[in-house]
Structure 1
Amino acid sequence: MDWKEISGNWVLIPQHPVGIVHFLGGAFVAAAPQVTYRWLLEQLAKEGYVVIATPFVNTLDHSAIAGNVRLSFDSALEQMRSKGLLRRRYLPIYGVGHSMGCKLHLLIGSLFPVERAGNILISFNNYAARDAIPFVEQFNFNNAFSVEFTPSPVETNNLIAQKYGVRRNLLIKFTNDNIDQTTVLSELLQNRFPGMVAMQMLSGSHLTPLGQDVNWKSGKEFTAFDAVGQWVKQEIVYRELNLLKKEIGRWLQPFSPA
């Protein structure tokens, strides 16, 4: 299964797809999701999900980014169907986002009439610009000019509380993540859709979804050093990633068509 670039998106198409995942990454690693999130996305594709990963460059206007990535995703989907790359008439669509990617999926679900079977929101982050962008307060702006994201954190929360339309959501928070704001998001979504929101705490950090395969090659003879290398690969690199993959798969599976 090879990555394809379609309408500016990076796409994986399994032979017998059971669903579609629209993936959006974090603010500073989203420009090349097929590289930065390769392991996780390829695992989802192996489970039968078409992966459409939309790159974006972060700006202060998050509403505009949300609109652009939605249009890019829709364009890729249309091209795939017109070229016969998706033969099944209906496939459920799930949004999957990490960090800022969560905010974008939440804005898409609040500002646009999209159809989603559900969203998976990993390590939600909704900080103000002064907290999210290093050194922003050192710029010499006058008092009449304020640097802030559009919508602001408060405006984003209000939009979610009043207009977010995706009923089924899985929220994932990691134990060692001091910039995560999933708890606040969980309260907002539980109030909007009681009983439809699941939240899971997993071992890991804010960077866990970015973990990659470690290509450990042993020498001609398998030594104790090679054994240690394999243990590191399995226990440290894969353990947290596999937990994340399993939790996502467990949540997706009940809602996928037979």
Structure 2
Amino acid sequence: MDWQEFSGNWVLIPKRPIAIVHFLGGAFVATAPQITYRLLLEYLGKKGYVVVATPFVNTLDHTAIAKDVLLNFDRTLDRLHYRGLLQGYLPIYGLGHSMGCKLHLLIGSLFPVERAGNILISFNNYAARDAIPLVQQFNFNNSFNVEFTPSPLETNNIILRGYQIRRNLLIRFSNDTIDQTPALTQLLQKLHADMVIAQTLTGSHLTPLGQDINWQTGQVFTPFDAIGQWFKQEVYRELNQLKSVISHWLDPLSSLP
């Protein structure tokens, strides 16, 4: 199973797909999600999920980004069906990390989409001046307002007015200093209290980006090899826990790996 590019999206297609996962990454690592989130996304592919990872470039207009990534995603699904790579109905899940969460929330609030659920990891909804350090270096006068569209307050109001995805898994990490998942949890529970699950896992904001560590042992297993294997295990422990939680939520009847 290899990555394929369709309409600017990176796609994994398992032999017997059971559902589709639309992935959107964080603001500064979203341009190559098939690389930056490879281990997490390929794990889902091996579990039978078609993965459609949509790259995007961050701008101040998050509404426009949400519209563009949705159009790209829909265009890719049409191509996959047209070429016979996908057949029949498959449920669609949104999976977002950091800014990707905000985009999935906007998509689920502003556009008539059908989603079986959303998985929102390490959500944050900062104002531009807090999220972009460079903005703080300029002494703008009051007539020059640099802000995301929609702003944090407007985003919350959009969600309260129109978010239509009932089933949600919200994940935060214990060592994530920029996470705002608790506030989002309260917001979504006002809409769909019985369908919103929030979990705190060990890790940091970068845990979903866990990268492969290629430690090769020699012909004779040495103490240094033992240290390398231990280090690799510790690095992967947090990512593996995230994989297990996502997999179990997507398919509660499956056993945890």
Q: Under a length normalisation based on structure 1, what TM-score does the superposition of the two structures give? A: 0.97
Alpha-carbon contact 1:10-1:34 (below 8 Å) kept? yes
Structure 2: which amino acid aligns with 1:70? L
Return the alpha-carbon distance in structure 1 between the equivalents of residues 105 and 145 of structure 2. Answer: 24
Residue 139 (structure 1) shift? 2.2
Alpha-carbon distance between aligned partners in 2 of 1:29 and 1:215, rounded to the nearest angstrom: 22
Cα distance in 2, alignment partners of residues 247 and 213 from structure 1 = 20
Please say if residues 213 and 237 of structure 1, whose CA atoms lie closer than 8 Å, have aligned partners that are also in contact: no
Secondary structure (helix, strand or coil) at the match of 1:95 reads strand
Partner of 1:169: 168
Aligned equivalents of 1:23 and 1:207: distance in 2? 16
* Deviation of 1:135 (Å): 2.1
Correspondence for 2:156: 157
Please tell me whether residue 216 in structure 1 is matched to residue 186 in structure 2.
Answer: no
Tell me the residue number matched to 1:110: 109
Q: Do the aligned partners of 1:103 and 1:124 also contact (CA within 8 Å) in 2?
A: yes
CA distance in 1, matches of 2:150, 2:253: 32
Question: SS of 1:28's equivalent?
Answer: coil
Number of residue pairs matched by the alignment: 254
Structure 1 residue corresponding to 2:247, chosen from 219, 238, 249? 249
| Partner residue, 1:41 | 41
In the aligned structure 1, how far is the partner of 2:198 from the partner of 2:162?
Answer: 21
**Deviations, residues 190-245 of structure 1 (Å, cap 9, x unaligned):** 001121100011000000000012111112211110011011111x2110001000
**How much does 1:255 deviate?**
8.4
Determine helix, strand or coil for the equivalent of 2:193: coil
Q: Which stretch shifts more, 142-151 or 16-25?
A: 142-151
Unaligned runs of 5+ in 2: none
For the 8 Å contact 1:125–1:180, the answer to whether it is kept is yes
**Distance in 1 between residues matched to 2:40 and 2:70, nearest whole Å:** 21
Shift of 1:140: 4.0
Equivalent-residue separation in structure 2 for 1:140 and 1:178 (angstroms): 26
Query: What is aligned with 2:238?
Result: 240
Give 1:145 deviation, angstroms. Answer: 1.0
Q: State the Cα deviation string for residues 19-58 of structure 1 (Å, max 9, x = none).
A: 0000000000000000000000000000000000000000
Tell me the equivalent position of 2:178. Answer: 179
Amino acid of the residue matched to residue 44 of structure 2?
Answer: L
Partner AA of 1:215 in structure 2? N
In 1, Cα distance between equivalents of 2:16 and 2:97: 26
Question: Which residue pairs with 1:31 in the alignment?
Answer: 31
Q: Secondary structure at the match of 2:164?
A: coil
Paired AA for residue 38 in structure 2: R
Once the two structures are TM-superposed, the CA of residue 134 in structure 1 deviates from its matched residue by 1.4
CA RMSD of aligned residues (A): 1.1
How many angstroms apart in 1 are the aligned matches of 2:142 and 2:203?
40
1:36-75, aligned counterparts within 5 Å?
36-75=36-75
The alpha carbon displacement at 1:254 in A equals 3.4
TM-score by length of 2: 0.97
Query: Counterpart in 1 of 2:9?
Result: 9
Q: What amino acid is aligned across from residue 47 of structure 1 in structure 2?
A: K
